[in-house]
Amino acid sequence: MDIAERRDGDILVLSPSGRIDNDTSPAFQARLLAALTPAAAVLVDFSAIEYISSAGLRALMMGSKQAKAVNGRLAVAALGPVVKEIFEISRFSLVVQVFDTSTEALAALR
């Protein structure tokens, strides 16, 4: 799994690619938590993610908790069809802000 990064104003956009599973979730979690500094706004663009396991979702939950703790903001966007199903199965859209597109997410995070 690679994680591309770019900035859109004050918002850091992380774009992981491939699978976030038992092998790759530690790296994903480490990068996400490092990005969530006080008052940071982070968008995770999922368009290049083909699968996420419970370990990957747990990493997102850790990010969500940290974002609250440091008064930051975290959103995810552009879920592919399989990842969207996994978010539905896990009910994760109830605990993390999910947007259809990165454009919508960026607008909400600004």
Partner 1 sequence: MLIRFWGSRGSIPTPLGYRAVQNKLRDALLAARGHRLDSLEAINDFLAKELPFSVSGTYGGNSSCVEIEAGGDDYVLCDLGSGVREFGNALIAKHGPAKKSRFNVFLSHTHWDHIMGFPFFTPSYIPGNVIRIHGCHKEMRDVFIRQQSNPCFPIDFRALGATIEFVELEPGRTYDIDGLSVKAIRQNHPSDSYGFRFSKNGKSMVYSTDSEHKFDVLTENYPFVEFFRDADLLIFDAQYSLADQISVKEDWGHSSNMIAVELAQLAHVKHLVMYHHEPVFDDKMIEKVLGETRRYVEINEYPQKLTVSSAYDGLEIVL
Q: For binding to partner 1 (CB under 8 A), which residues are involved?
A: 22, 25-26, 29, 51, 53-55, 57-58, 61, 82, 85-86, 88-92, 94-95
Nearer to partner 1, 82 or 107 (CB): 82
Q: Is the dihedral of CA 100, 98, 16, 107 positive or negative?
A: positive
Identity of the residue, 48 or 55, whose beta carbon is nearer to partner 1 in the bound complex: 55
Least distance (Å) from partner 1 to the CB of residue 110?
A: 26
Distance, CA of 50 to chain centre: 14
- Torsion over CA: 104, 47, 74, 5 (sign): negative
* Radius of gyration from C-alpha coordinates of the chain: 12
Which is nearer to partner 1, 48 or 61 (by Cβ)?
61
- Output the smallest distance, CB 7 to partner 1, in A: 29
Q: Which helix (H) or strand (E) holds 97?
A: strand 97-99
Q: How far is the CB of 9 from partner 1 (least distance, A)?
A: 29
